[in-house]
Structure formats: C-alpha cells, structure tokens
Amino acid sequence: MKWFIKVLRHYADFSGRARRKEFWMFVLFNIIFSFIWTFLLTIVFVLVNNNELSEEKLQFAIRVAYMSYSAAMLLPGLAVAVRRMHDLGKSGWMLLVGLIPFLGGIWLFVLMLMDSQERGNKYGPNPKTSQETFSEPVRLKNAGVTLVIASTIAFLINIFNLISNQFPIQFNNMVEIAVDIILFAAGIFLLNEHSINKMQKKGQYAFVLILTVASIHLIISTYFLNINISNVSTFGWKAVTGSTIYTLYNLMIALFAASVLFYLQNKNLIRSLAVMTMVFSGIFLLWSVYSRMGFFYAGFEIVNLLGIFFVLMPVAYIVLAGTFYSVRNSTGEKSLNEGKL
C-alpha cells in the first residue's frame, strides 16, 4: 500500500525514476479501488433512484462512476509510467509506442516487467539504492500541474457546452470560462515555486487568483443556495444539499488562500484551513460524482462523458492544500507547515 501512496504523493512528478515494484503495486491497488469505487457509488445511486432508474441510466451511472475514478488517477498513472521508462533509461515519450495497435501494448507490457538499470542514469540514481524525498518543490509542482490540467479540461468542457447550447444560462458558461483561464494562470505561477517558506511574487499572484476565483464562486453559490432554500418545495432538498456543499467548498478555499496570503507565519491557521479545504473538497468530489451519475442527456453522450472530468478540479484543490500539510524535509527538520492543530 505504501507504493500506491507514494505514487499519489508524487502525483504530477515526471522527473526521477520508479522501480518495477512501485509501478505494479500502483496498478494492482488501482484495479482494486476502481472496482470498489464503482460498486459502492453504483449501489448508492441504485438505492436512491430505484423507482426511476432505467437500464440506460444504470449503464451510464456505472460508466460515470468508473470513468470518474479513472479521470482522478489519470495524472498519477501517467507520471509513474513516465518514471518507469526513466528507470529503464528511456524517454517518457516512449509510452506513445503503446498507441500502435496490438504490438505497441505488448511491447510496453514487456518493458514494464524489466528490472531497473543498476547504475544511475541521466534521470537519477537507482531507486532501489536511493531514497526519494517528497520535497516542497515536488509538492508545489504537483499543485501547479494539477491546476493547469484541471482548468484546461474545465475550459474545454465549458466551451463545448457553450457551443452546443446544452445549458440555457450562457452567461454562467462565460463566467466559468473566464474562471478557468484565471486558474490556468495560477497553476503556471505555482510551477515556478520551490519553497512554501519563501514564496516568490508569482506564488503570491497564484493565491491572489485562487482567492479571486473562490470568491466569485462563493458569491454565485450563495445566490443559488438562497434560491434553492426559498423554493425547496419545487427543487427539493437534494438541490439545497448540493448548493450548501458547494458554498462551504468555496468558502474553505477562499479562507485557505487568504490565510496563505495574509497569515503566512501562522502555521496552525494555515494547516487547519488546509485540512478543512481537503475535507470539503473531498465531500464536494463525492457529491458531484453522485450528481453527475443522474445528470443524463439522452443522445448527448459526448456532453455526458466530458463532464466526468470535472473531478480533477476538487482533486487539484486537495493536492494544493496538501502542499501545506505537515511533511518533514530531508534533514528531518519541521517545515513551515509542520505546526500542530
């Protein structure tokens, strides 16, 4: 299990090497967890919607549950595969060989079974004889890469929805497109940061942008929460629950970003808000996947499946907040974010 966790911690780290055991343990637990995730979410969806569930919607719900997990694991899976190629002394671009029908997949499978190069290569020392640390630069790079990918996918989804006119409120799509661009810029700024203790101007700009995005979403979510509460007899408690979770999710992100910007020396406050951000992002992730399972457009399969990749946005915030969670550095000293709750 430690190998699976290690891959998740190096979520978007495409440098260095990954030994054979690390890669295959990640694959094994991924298979197990994907089945558990799909089974549990589908059971919940069936129990809640038993009276209104058609066979077509059930099949779609299963696909959403499975693909939502696959979307969340896409980046760490790709990163560990690239590091596995590095471990063999090959470029990560060699993974593209897998696109060759039949033979490409067999060739990659054989490569993944090969042992590490005994000596160090241009990608780093042998992972069997060296200890890879989870440093601040790696954590900040993870957060930056995840925000960039999440905002890019969200941007494409919103552009598609705007063009296809699936939603009547096109102004909301325009706002979301602008927000996606802002988050993309925040991710780019974080990519160049190396220390939480001594964050440069670009890192501060990133959190200004995140605070701006969270504030915009907080205003919008509060407005819709008020509408849903006022019309609970029409929309039902499910809409109120969703709006409440979304409002708290954005509130935690806004408070977390503000604490990093204005209270950088207050370790306990930042760490507490980082934990709360991860908790509410996780709750929002689960609720959103469940809601997406019932969000079905007959005849619009592309819209349905594209929407699954929204899960990367709360994942991005979980990874970002996780960079400020307590981790000891390579010297054993406590970092800025090591304060006790």
The reply to whether 128 falls in a domain is no
Q: What is the predicted pLDDT for the residue at 75?
A: 82
Tell me: do 115 and 160 sit in the same domain: no
Q: What is the predicted pLDDT for the residue at 66?
A: 83
Tell me: do 191 and 42 sit in the same domain: no
Tell me: do 172 and 317 sit in the same domain: yes
List 328's β-bridge partners, or say none. Answer: 334
Tell me: do 175 and 296 sit in the same domain: yes
Q: How far apart are CA 159 and CA 151, in angstroms?
A: 12
The reply to whether 220 falls in a domain is yes
Tell me: do 202 and 340 sit in the same domain: yes
Tell me: do 96 and 200 sit in the same domain: no
The reply to whether 140 falls in a domain is yes
Tell me: do 201 and 85 sit in the same domain: no
The reply to whether 241 falls in a domain is yes
Distances (CA, A) of 9 to 76, 119, 161: 9, 25, 33
Mind listing the pLDDT tens digit of every residue in the chain (341 residues)? 888 888 887 777 787 888 888 899 999 999 999 999 888 888 877 777 766 667 777 777 787 778 778 877 888 888 899 989 998 888 888 888 888 888 888 888 898 898 888 888 888 888 877 666 656 677 777 778 888 888 888 888 778 777 766 555 566 777 888 888 999 998 888 887 776 666 677 778 889 999 999 999 999 899 889 988 888 787 778 788 889 999 999 999 999 999 888 876 677 888 889 999 999 999 998 887 777 766 655 445 555 556 666 777 888 888 888 877 754 443 444 444 433 32
The reply to whether 236 falls in a domain is yes
Q: How far apart are CA 44 and CA 50, in angstroms?
A: 10
Q: How far apart are CA 328 and CA 306, in angstroms?
A: 38
Tell me: do 114 and 138 sit in the same domain: no
Q: What is the predicted pLDDT for the residue at 295?
A: 61
Tell me: do 226 and 92 sit in the same domain: no
Q: How many separate domains does the chain show?
A: 2
Helix 267-293 and helix 237-262, axial crossing angle in degrees, nearest 10: 150
Q: How many CB atoms lie within 10 A of CB 126?
A: 15
Q: How far apart are CA 268 and CA 77, in angstroms?
A: 33
Q: Which of 85, 119, 153 is the last residue of a domain?
A: 119
Domain carrying residue 102: 1-119
Tell me: do 68 and 147 sit in the same domain: no
Q: What is the predicted pLDDT for the residue at 269?
A: 87
Q: Label residues 141-176 b or e (16+ Cβ within 10 Å = b).
A: bbbbbbbbbbbbbbbebbeebbeeeeeeeeeebeeb
Query: Own/partner pairs for 111-120, CB < 8 Å, 24+ apart?
Result: 111/84, 111/85, 112/20, 112/23, 112/24, 112/81, 112/84, 113/20, 114/20, 114/88, 115/20, 116/17, 116/19, 116/20, 116/87, 116/88, 117/87, 117/88, 117/89
The reply to whether 127 falls in a domain is no
